[in-house]
């Protein structure tokens, strides 16, 4: 928004609200709501000049009132100017007072800004009364003070509500980014299991290629080829180690104080899943129920387990269903259940669901299959925890995954 456009919006707002009047305590005195809007502008928009916005608002109020009197009240142009010109004085004095008191530097002190706004209102009203050559009576002073206090309190409390809403939106955005970061880290953690497994496989292949080189030393052609293969595998191994080491260093920065309460983690999972459901237009209800609330040490790992099981449950429900995520415990273990009322798993494919690469999911548009590594991730991580996973399923009734993890693995007994 350009500065000119912003100022026009501010001036118009003050001028229009300046035509909303109230009569305090049923008196004949008339006060407008325009100054409440001006107070809010001064408090909220730190880029605008208090003096400039006050002076221009005064001109805006003056012009609007002249227009209304000429076209709707049939007052002469000269009488309209004489009647409403003092209002410009009010706004000029108001802007000067606000400028000299530096209210923006004190606007979060609660009492101080209310006092400044009240005195600005009272002094400006007195100057306007003097310009109008009205007699300043005790009753008039009393009404001016009461209105000044009322308008200042109303404006400041609206400002506090605005700041509270702004803080709420910032907190929500921060929480959204924080939850997305946690999901990202948990995904990286899961991928590292496969990187570690691959480095082990590379070590074995390199050993075999070197044994082949030793076996065919007498054959120069084979000896050179097998040695080249061993060297190339060694280079691949070094690259893998570099990648793995980079991931580990990256994750260490998050794991120095890597703890989270279970309740906080479930809130993040719920919000991320709700966004996923909305984006994919699925009418699936999530119900979270946890018996205990405790501090998790390896919460990224648990993120991966629950996220994968919940996404699988959503897929099983197609476009409508209910998923229950439940936590329980016994003296030695923490237990999680992920239950859905979806289509279930066929008995003939049940033994293969944890195999890497196995999938029954295909993209409806492209026909490409899923990677099939979600449940294998889950099983690998649970294995690292020295836990177990069980599956119970009925066709067209639903599926329950039961995850059992020793307490000393998850919360560090």
270 with 383, same domain: the answer is: yes
Contact 107, 89 (CB under 8 A): no
Whether residue 171 has pLDDT greater than 50: yes
Region of poorest pLDDT, from 32-46, 63-77, 218-232, 389-403: 218-232
Q: How confident is the model at residue 177 (pLDDT cuts 50, 70, 90)?
A: low
- Tell me the per-residue pLDDT of 338-364, one tens digit each, with 9 for 90 and over: 999 988 888 888 888 887 766 655 455
Q: Name which of 154, 133, 112 is nearest 24 in CA terms.
A: 154
pLDDT for position 371: 40
- Tell me the per-residue pLDDT of 296-319, one tens digit each, with 9 for 90 and over: 876 777 888 888 899 889 988 887
pLDDT for position 324: 94
In a domain, 19, yes or no: yes
Contact 411, 385 (CB under 8 A): no
In a domain, 393, yes or no: yes
Domain count for the chain:
3
Whether residue 251 has pLDDT greater than 70: no
pLDDT for position 295: 83
Write down the mean pLDDT value for the chain.
80
In a domain, 23, yes or no: yes
- Tell me the per-residue pLDDT of 399-409, one tens digit each, with 9 for 90 and over: 999 999 998 88
Range of the domain at 227: 179-255
In a domain, 204, yes or no: yes
The CATH number of the domain where 330 resides is what?
3.30.565.10
Q: How confident is the model at residue 388 (pLDDT cuts 50, 70, 90)?
A: very high
Q: Which residue has the higher pLDDT, 359 or 164?
A: 164
Q: What is the mean pLDDT of residues 383-405?
A: 91
DSSP codes, 241-266: HHHHHHHHHHHHHHHTT--EEHHHHH
In a domain, 396, yes or no: yes
Distance, in Å, from the CA atom of 322 to the CA atom of 338, rounded to the nearest integer, reads 11
280 with 249, same domain: the answer is: no
21 with 157, same domain: the answer is: yes
pLDDT for position 389: 93
pLDDT for position 325: 93
Q: Which residue has the higher pLDDT, 371 or 183?
A: 183
pLDDT for position 232: 77
> Of 255, 289, 315, which marks where a domain is finished?
255
17 with 124, same domain: the answer is: yes
Contact 293, 263 (CB under 8 A): yes
Q: How confident is the model at residue 74 (pLDDT cuts 50, 70, 90)?
A: confident
pLDDT for position 254: 56
232 with 357, same domain: the answer is: no
Whether residue 255 has pLDDT greater than 60: no
In a domain, 389, yes or no: yes
CA angle 233–236–238, rounded 5-degree value: 110
Tell me, rounded to whole angstroms, the distance of Cα 289 from its chain centroid.
24
280 with 232, same domain: the answer is: no
pLDDT for position 359: 63
In a domain, 190, yes or no: yes
Region of poorest pLDDT, from 114-118, 359-363, 377-381, 408-412: 359-363
The CATH number of the domain where 116 resides is what?
1.10.1760
Q: Which residue has the higher pLDDT, 54 or 80?
A: 54
> Of 195, 225, 255, which marks where a domain is finished?
255
279 with 370, same domain: the answer is: yes
Distance, in Å, from the CA atom of 377 to the CA atom of 189, rounded to the nearest integer, reads 10
HSE (CB half, 13 Å, CA atoms) of 242? 6
145 with 63, same domain: the answer is: yes
Q: What is the mean pLDDT of residues 133-139?
A: 81
Q: What is the mean pLDDT of residues 356-385?
A: 64
In a domain, 174, yes or no: no
Q: What is the mean pLDDT of residues 45-58?
A: 87
- Pairing status of strand 283-290 against strand 320-329: parallel
pLDDT for position 341: 92
pLDDT for position 170: 64
Specify the DSSP class assigned to residue 103: G
Return phi, psi of residue 381, to 5°.
Answer: -65, -45
> Of 255, 273, 308, which marks where a domain is finished?
255
149 with 28, same domain: the answer is: yes
Which alpha helices (H) appear in 73-137, and where do they start and end? 77-101, 111-131
206 with 155, same domain: the answer is: no
Q: Which residue has the higher pLDDT, 180 or 292?
A: 292
Share of the chain above pLDDT 70, in %: 80
22 with 76, same domain: the answer is: yes
Q: How confident is the model at residue 369 (pLDDT cuts 50, 70, 90)?
A: very low
57 with 108, same domain: the answer is: yes
pLDDT for position 368: 42
Whether residue 248 has pLDDT greater than 70: no
HSE (CB half, 13 Å, CA atoms) of 213? 14
Q: How confident is the model at residue 185 (pLDDT cuts 50, 70, 90)?
A: low
pLDDT for position 50: 87
């Amino acid at each position: 928004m350009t500065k000119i456009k912003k100022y026009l919006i501010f001036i118009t707002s003050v001028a229009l609200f300046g035509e909303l009047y109230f009569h305090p305590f049923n008196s004949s005195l008339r006060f407008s709501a325009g100054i409440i809007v001006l107070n809010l502008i001064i408090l909220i928009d730190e880029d605008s000049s208090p003096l400039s916005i006050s002076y221009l608002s005064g001109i805006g109020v003056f012009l609007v009132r002249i227009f209304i009197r000429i076209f709707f009240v049939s007052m002469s142009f000269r009488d309209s100017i004489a009647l409403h010109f003092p209002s410009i004085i009010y706004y000029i004095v108001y802007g000067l007072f606000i400028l000299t008191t530096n209210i923006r530097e004190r606007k979060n002190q609660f009492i101080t800004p209310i006092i400044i706004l009240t005195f600005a209102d009272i002094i400006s009203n007195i100057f306007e009364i003097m310009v109008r050559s009205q007699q300043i009576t005790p009753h008039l002073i009393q009404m001016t003070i009461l209105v000044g206090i009322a308008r200042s309190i109303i404006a400041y409390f609206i400002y506090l509500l605005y700041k509270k809403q702004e803080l709420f939106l910032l907190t929500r955005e921060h929480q959204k980014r924080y939850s997305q970061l946690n999901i990202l880290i948990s995904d990286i953690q899961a991928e590292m299991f496969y990187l570690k497994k691959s480095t082990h496989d590379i070590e074995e292949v390199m050993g075999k290629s070197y044994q082949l080189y030793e076996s065919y030393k007498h054959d120069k052609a084979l000896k050179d080829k097998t040695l080249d293969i061993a060297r190339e595998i060694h280079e691949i191994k070094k690259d893998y180690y570099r990648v793995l080491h980079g991931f580990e260093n990256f994750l260490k920065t998050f794991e120095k104080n890597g703890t989270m309460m279970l309740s906080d983690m479930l809130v993040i999972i719920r919000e991320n899943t709700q966004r996923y459901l909305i984006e994919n237009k699925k009418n699936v209800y999530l119900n979270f129920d946890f018996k205990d609330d405790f501090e998790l040490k390896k919460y990224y790992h648990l993120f991966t387990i629950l996220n994968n099981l919940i996404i699988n449950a959503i897929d099983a429900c197609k476009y409508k269903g209910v998923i229950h995520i439940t936590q329980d415990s016994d003296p030695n273990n923490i237990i999680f259940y992920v239950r859905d009322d979806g289509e279930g798993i066929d008995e003939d494919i049940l033994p293969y669901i944890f195999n890497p690469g196995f999938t029954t999911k295909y993209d409806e548009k492209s026909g490409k299959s899923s990677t099939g590594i979600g449940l294998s991730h889950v099983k690998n991580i649970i294995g690292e925890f020295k836990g177990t996973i069980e599956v119970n399923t009925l066709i067209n009734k639903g599926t329950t995954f039961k995850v059992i993890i020793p307490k000393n693995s998850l919360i560090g007994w």
